[in-house]
Amino acid sequence: MTHRTSPPDEFTHWLAGLRSWAAKCQRDADLWRPAAAQGLLSLAVPESAGGSGAGYEAACLALETFAEESGLSGLPFAMAAQMWACQEPLLEFGSSTQRDRYLTPLLTGTAVGAFAATEYDSGSDLLSLRTRADRDEGGRWRLNGAKTFVTNGPTADVFVVLARTAEGSALSGLTAFLVPRGTPGLQVGMVTDKTGLRGAEVSSLHMDDCLLDDSDVLGGPGGGFAVLMHAMRHERAFILAPTLGLMARALREAVEHARSRSQFGHPLASYDTIRRRLVRMHVSLTSARELLHATARRADADTLDHGRSSLTKLHVSTEFNRFCQELPDVYGGYALLPETGVAALLADAVASRYYSGTSDMQMKIIAERLGL
């Protein structure tokens, strides 16, 4: 694998440490800081900005390993959401003051970050968002509106909030704000009950006359679209990295189940239908992993574009769903028992078609790249 600065031996050693630590993790609760202390959040951040400079492929492999060894899906997803939608924009657009105030604590896990763009009426049609920030007489920004589906919302210390600051084109009419928890007028909603991604908490966010300064603007007034695109370019490419680990774990367990359970006097693994299912799952996992890692190497080489990110999100989520179509049939009725983890993985697979932009929206982006 390619590493930007870390020597491979050092990274391999570090990954082995992460693997044995993760194998002892059994539930998502109270693990954010310990996981951050392992160095998980800082791999894709250059040393000059306080990270370890190991690069994107190393970061993806670490998230994959964490999920595979722990079997946790929610926490790695929530950490990935922060890495790609909060840390990356702070790295790219943050002033040195903003980086010191927010990025440094995000990397060490002493603070949690959330990205709030989606609204009830603006999901796929995100650019129609209605949250507004207007200048008041004193020159401060007055932020009003409501967001939904905010990953890490319940625990976040800082929110990257996308708001409309001018009418007309989204290219110049949107602005991103860094809104600290505790800002008067900012109200975090209850944890949204959901199936899938257990352990990743999502909530709504309400802003009622939150007063902000120019120093709270990320990427400059009118720079919100660029912040959004930068976040999505990374999130779409890498948000599914932990899923590769979950698929690998599920495949290992399914093979074990097929070898150990017998029907009609023979192991399930001896029946061609079961063997083919497991082979198809292996093919799905391999092609998803190969593509995501190749995409990460592009990011390490600074050549990642939006089309490639959408293609990666679409392909990995599609293969994840294919994988999960085969999985229950290896288990039969046992697929319904929580201890097999099959139903939980299925719910995660469904969710993967929607977050970071739905599969239809990724296809729309790819179609445009094809000149359609």
Ligand X SMILES: Cc1cc2nc3c(=O)[nH]c(=O)nc-3n(C[C@H](O)[C@H](O)[C@H](O)COP(=O)(O)OP(=O)(O)OC[C@H]3O[C@@H](n4cnc5c(N)ncnc54)[C@H](O)[C@@H]3O)c2cc1C
Closer CB to ligand X, 271 or 354, in the complex = 354
CA distance 41 to 21: 15
* Catalytic residue, candidates 57, 68, 201, 235: 235
Strands 141-151 and 186-191: unpaired
Choosing from 49, 358, 366, 369, the residue that interacts with ligand X (CB under 6 A) is: 358
* Of 7-15, 110-118, 286-294, 296-304: span binding ligand X (CB under 6 A): 110-118
Strand segments, DSSP code E, in 56-136 are 113-116, 132-135
Which residues from 197-236 bind ligand X, rule CB under 6 A? 197, 202
Is-contact 110 144, C-beta < 8 A?
A: no
Which residues from 143-162 bind ligand X, rule CB under 6 A? 149-151
Closer CB to ligand X, 54 or 106, in the complex = 106
Cβ 77 to ligand X, closest distance in Å? Answer: 8
Q: What angle, 0 to 180 degrees and rounded to 10, lies between the N-to-C axes of helices 342-352 and 306-326?
A: 150
CA distance 72 to 212: 37
178 binds ligand X (CB under 6 A): no
Phi/psi at 266 (nearest 5 deg)?
-135, 150
Is 235 among the residues known to form the active site? yes
3-state secondary structure of 6: coil
Which of 54, 39, 64 lies closest to 7, judged by CA?
A: 54
Q: What angle, 0 to 180 degrees and rounded to 10, lies between the N-to-C axes of helices 359-369 and 306-326?
A: 140
Closer CB to ligand X, 52 or 310, in the complex = 310
How many residues in the shown chain lie near ligand X by CB under 6 A? Answer: 19
Choosing from 34, 360, 367, 368, the residue that interacts with ligand X (CB under 6 A) is: 360
* Of 62-70, 115-123, 171-179, 310-318: span binding ligand X (CB under 6 A): 115-123
- Please identify every residue annotated as catalytic: 235
Task: Write out the residues near ligand X by the rule CB under 6 A.
Answer: 81, 115-118, 123-124, 149-151, 197, 202, 351, 354-355, 357-358, 360-361
